[in-house]
Amino acid sequence: MQKSDINIGQRVKVNRRFVSVDEGQWVKVNRRFVGVDEGTEGVIIEDYGTGITVAWDMPNQPYPSGKTPQQVAEMMAVNPQCPLRDGFDKVSELKYLEVADAD
């Protein structure tokens, strides 16, 4: 799979899981990262070509209700409403994400 083969709205199969790269898609991480526990859920807020940005919904920094993914992507990190965000490379790091269960 080439980096350019993944577009917003396309579903890709990664490690036997389907991960959507739609902006607004809720995902959860399947391993621990610095500051993000395994199982933490977040929203894909940006597709920047070779990767995606996820804004995490954490107890101390929740995903802001009523905000679109675009609005969150444009938030400055110093904004107290801005959730923690991480980037994931489409080729090598989507394996750490899976689609979150619908509530």
Quickly state the pLDDT bin for 103 (edges 50, 70, 90).
low
Ordered by start, the domain boundaries in the chain are: 3-99
Residue 94 has pLDDT above 50, yes or no: yes
Residue 83 has pLDDT above 90, yes or no: yes
Residue 3 has pLDDT above 50, yes or no: no
The model's pTM: 0.77
Average pLDDT over residues 31-43: 90
Return the structure tokens found at 29. 């991480």
